[in-house]
Amino acid sequence: MNIAFIITYHGSAYNGFQKQPNTPTVQNTLEKVLSDLFLSPIKTTPAGRTDTAVHADNQYVIAPLPIKFCKKLHLITTPPLTGYEKLRKILNNRLPATIYIRHLFEVTADFHPRYTAHVRLYTYSLLCPPYFNISAPALTHSYRYPYWLDKDILIQILHAFEGTHDFTTFASARDSHPSKIRTLYKVDCIERGAELSIELYGSAFLREMVRSIIGNALALTRRLQKNPPTSPHLKKEISSRVKQLLAKKDPVAAKARVPGYALTLKHVFYTPIFQPQKLRLPPQTAALPSENCTH
Catalytic positions: 51
The whole-angstrom separation of Cα 215 and Cα 209 is 10
Amino acid present at 104: L
Answer left, alpha or beta for residue 39, where phi above 0 means left and psi between -120 and 50 means alpha. Answer: left
- Residue 168: closest CA among 115, 200, 199, 207: 207
At 216, the amino acid letter reads N
Q: Which of 260, 258, 266, 295 is nearest to 128 (CA)?
A: 258
Exposed e or buried b for every residue in 179-206, given b needs 16+ CB within 10 A? ebbbbbbebebeeeebbbbbebbbbbbb
Beta bridge partners of residue 202, listed in sequence order: 120, 184
